Amino acid sequence: MIEFDWDWAFAWEVLPLLLDACLITLQATLLGSMLAIVMGLLLALLRRSRWKTVSYSAYWWMEFVRSTPLLVQIYFLYYVAPEWGLNMSPMMTGVIALGMHYGAYLSEVFRSGIDGVGKGQWEASIALNLSPYRTYRDVILPQALRSMIPASGNYIIAMFKETPQLSAITLLEMLQLAKIMGSENFRYLEPFTLVGLIYLVLSLAASTGIRLAERRFPKEGFTLS
Partner 1 sequence: MPVTEILSALMGGAVITMKIVVMALPLATLMAFTAGLMRMSERRSLRWLAAIYVEFFRGTSALIQLYWIYFVLPLFGLSIDAVTAGVVALGLNIGAYGSEVVRGGLLSVDKGQTEAAIALNFKPRQRLWRIIMPQALVGMMPPFGNLAIELVKATSLVSLITIADLTYRAKSLADMTLQVEQIFGLVLVFYFLMAQALNLGLRALEKRLGKGMDRGGLT
Q: What residue ranges bind partner 1 (CB under 8 A)? A: 1-2, 4, 64, 66-73, 75-76, 79-80, 83, 161-165, 167-168, 175, 179, 182, 188-189, 192-193, 195-196, 199-200, 203-204
3-class SS of residue 51: coil
Q: Smallest distance from the beta carbon of 182 to partner 1, in angstroms?
A: 7
Q: Smallest distance from the beta carbon of 118 to partner 1, in angstroms?
A: 23
Q: Smallest distance from the beta carbon of 64 to partner 1, in angstroms?
A: 6
Q: Smallest distance from the beta carbon of 120 to partner 1, in angstroms?
A: 27
Distance CA 157, CA 42 (A): 21
Nearer to partner 1, 97 or 139 (CB): 97
Nearer to partner 1, 146 or 179 (CB): 179
Of 23, 43, 21, the closest CA to residue 31 belongs to: 23
Nearer to partner 1, 45 or 95 (CB): 95
Q: Smallest distance from the beta carbon of 83 to partner 1, in angstroms?
A: 6
Q: Smallest distance from the beta carbon of 12 to partner 1, in angstroms?
A: 19
Counting every residue written for the chain, the total comes to: 225
Nearer to partner 1, 97 or 140 (CB): 97
Nearer to partner 1, 142 or 150 (CB): 150
Distance CA 89, CA 124 (A): 48
The answer to whether 95 touches 32, Cβ cutoff 8 Å, is yes
CA angle 5, 185, 6 (to 5 degrees): 15
Nearer to partner 1, 53 or 67 (CB): 67
